[in-house]
Structures are given as structure tokens and as C-alpha cells.
Amino acid sequence: MSFYRPPRIAASEITPEHCFFNRRSFLAAAAGGALAAAGTPALAEALKASKSQYTVDEALTPEKDVTSYNNFYEFGMGKGDPLANSEKFKPTPWTVKVDGLVGKPKEFGLEELLAMPLEERTYRMRCVEAWSMVIPWSGFPLAALLDKVEPLGDAKYVAFETVVRPEEMPGQSGYFQPLPWPYVEGLRLDEARHPLAILAVGVYGKTLPNQNGAPLRLVVPWKYGFKGIKSIVRITLTDKQPPATWNLSAPSEYGFYANVNPEVDHPRWSQASENRIGEGGFFGANRRPTLPFNGYGEEVAGLYAGMDLRANY
């Protein structure tokens, strides 16, 4: 069994107090205006002082790929659709309701979420379709938000829900609807509280673009990318395993846990290797081996001690 070890933080890494408070007022002010315009320089400025030690020793995927090769079916099924079709989407104003089995249910305004202590974290992302990226997210631990609502003792899972706005999301209003809406996802409470699980509000030092899940999306780097639900409006603590969109749509292809596992193939393709976007063709020698738990096994394997990982995919 392996336990989570917090990374060492050198004194030089600690954000000076004045930056910390400036950062909070910067972000709160930015959120009040047009997020995309006003928030961008403020977030970049804020993150200069908040680079985290969570990083990987691999080249970053170019920003243009991170923001133009996307899965966000609310805007269409093609990889370029989320960028092409999300112009009308309005990520401000925004609220996230956090409710269910909690002592203090609350509707959080975006201003309050942007005022959480933010960190930049570079994580690998492995899509279930066998491509991957290395992405510098900006965000805060999901556990920090859960702490604010005080989960009750019988809460065992966390359910997430994406916004439904057919008037702004063409994939929700077209003739063909690829998925039932809202897109929903879930985690076990101990997974949700794991320090690696974050809510991202930015990428590449800028506020999240619409196609990446503005203004707030989940990032759980040891799981397949579809667990990273975008544009979240509701988070509910519950005692039952919550529904998850892809798991409901094709349970034999997409598990609830969806931990990255090179030994359990998707029924229609191998999960043993992956194509790192930006590094060449899908089938070439450039494919890299996929790592158990996407390389985060040392930190998270203990969450699944005693579980049959081949059956609980």
C-alpha cells in the first residue's frame, strides 16, 4: 500500500503574503467583469507567484493543441467543434451549487471560487481514446471546496453536473443529440478529497477558454479524461454511487472508476500505449507506453487497495 507524500516546498517557493492578498483581490475584481478579457492578465500575474511542485518532467503540449483539440460534446463531436462552436457561450456570471449530504450547503459565485488560493499544476492527461497531453492547469484542490460545505458522515460519493444551455451550446440543440444532458460524473469521496484532484479555472496561465470547460472543470489526472467534467454548475454529496454519462451510455466500454490502466483494453482498442499530441502520428513509433494510473500510482494506488482493478475499470 502506498501513502500520499506531500511534496517538499522550499522556502523560496512560498508565496509572499502580500502577493497572496493582491492575488485574491485581483481575481475577485477580474471575475466581476468579462472573465475572458479582464481575467486573463490578472490570472497570469497571479500565477507567477504560485507555481506548484506538482509537475512532470515531460515537454508541455503546445497551447494551441490544448485549446483546439478538444472533447466537449455540448459543442459538437469533432475535435475542432468546441473551439469553433463555443463563441456564444457565456462563462460569466456563473454560480456552482454545492449541496446534498453536507452541513452547510451553498451556492458559490465565480468571484468566490477565483479567490481560492490558486496553484499552477502541470499534469499528464490521458484520454480513453488513447491520446495524451501534458497541461499546465491553474486551480485549487477540490477538497478545499468540499471543506467549506462540511460533508456529513454518511456522504460517500461526489456527483458533478455540467450546465445545460441549448441556446449557447449547439451540441445540445441539434437534430442529433449524441449524449443525454446534462453531462454528469462522479467520484468516491476519498478520491475527491485526494490532493491531486483539482478544480481548474485556468490553463497556460490564462482563464479557461470555453472549449476547455470555462469557467470551472474537474481535473483528476490518474483517470481517463472523460472523468474531467467541464463547465460545472452543481456538486452534490451523496451516499450512492452517482451516474456518470459515458458509463451510462456504454457500461461495457467506460467504467465508473476509469483509472488509467494499460492492462485493461477498451473493447475496441488497446490501452497499452498512447499518442502524445504534438509528437507525431497516431500509429507511428512515437507512441509511448501508457503508465498505470497515468504515472500517479505512487500517490493514488492506496485508494484502491484490495480492489480488483481489472474488474473495476
Q: Is 86 in the site for ligand MTE (CB under 6 A)?
A: no
The full length of the chain comes to 313
Q: Which of 229, 237, 244, 258 binds ligand MTE (CB under 6 A)?
A: 229
With contacts defined by CB under 6 A, name the span among 38-46, 222-230, 284-292, 302-310 that binds ligand MTE. Answer: 222-230
Q: Which three cell numbers stand for residue 31?
A: 471575475
| Least distance from ligand MTE to the Cβ atom of residue 71, Å | 4
With cell 463547465, the residue in question is 231
- Which member of 52, 70, 132, 236 binds ligand MTE (CB under 6 A)? 70
Q: Which is nearer to ligand MTE, 225 or 242 (CB)?
A: 225
Report if residue 228 touches ligand MTE, rule: CB under 6 A: yes
User: What does the block give as the cell for 177?
Assistant: 443529440
Binding to ligand MTE by residue 225, rule CB under 6 A?
yes
Closest to ligand MTE by CB, 39 or 151: 39
| Cell numbers describing residue 62 | 503546445
Determine which residue in the list 43, 127, 145, 196 makes contact with ligand MTE, applying CB under 6 A.
Answer: 127
Is the four-CA dihedral 209, 215, 216, 217 of positive or negative sign?
Answer: negative
Pairing of strands 95-100, 232-238: parallel
Per rule CB under 6 A, is residue 158 in the interface with ligand MTE? no
Say whether residue 276 binds ligand MTE (CB under 6 A).
no
Shortest Å distance, C-beta 251 to ligand MTE: 16
Work out whether 183 is an interface residue with ligand MTE (CB under 6 A). Answer: yes
Within 13 Å, how many C-alpha atoms sit on residue 28's CB side?
11
For residues 20 and 46, give the distance between their C-alpha atoms in angstroms, rounded to a whole number.
Answer: 8
Minimum CB separation of residue 157 from ligand MTE in Å reads: 18
Tell whether residue 254 is a contact of ligand MTE (CB under 6 A). no
* Residue 52 engages ligand MTE in binding (rule: CB under 6 A): no
How far apart CA 113 and CA 116 sit, in angstroms, is 5
When asked if residue 71 is in the footprint of ligand MTE (CB under 6 A), the reply is yes
Which residues, including other chains, have CB under 8 Å from residue 123's CB and lie 6 or more apart?
54, 56, 134, 135, 137, 196, 219, 221
Question: Using CB under 6 A, which of the segments 10-18, 71-79, 89-97, 298-306 binds ligand MTE?
Answer: 71-79
Q: Pairing state of beta strands 198-203 and 119-126?
A: unpaired
Q: With H, G, I as helix, E, B as strand and everything else as coil, classify residue 260.
A: coil
Q: Find the DSSP H helices in the chain.
A: 17-32, 35-48, 63-66, 81-85, 110-114, 142-149, 189-192, 245-249, 297-300
By CB under 6 A, residue 230 contacts ligand MTE: yes
> Cell 504534438, residue?
278
Out of 27, 74, 102, 275, name the contact with ligand MTE by CB under 6 A.
74
| Residue number, 26 or 204, with CB nearest to ligand MTE | 204
Beta bridge partners of 115: none
Kindly tell me which of 139 and 225 has the beta carbon lying closer to ligand MTE.
Answer: 225
Which three cell numbers, joined as nine digits, stand for 160? 458533478
Which of 85, 162, 261, 271 binds ligand MTE (CB under 6 A)? It is 162
Residue tagged 468546441 (cell numbers): 82
Shortest Å distance, C-beta 217 to ligand MTE: 7
The site for ligand MTE (CB under 6 A) is made up of 70-74, 127, 162, 183, 212, 225-226, 228-231
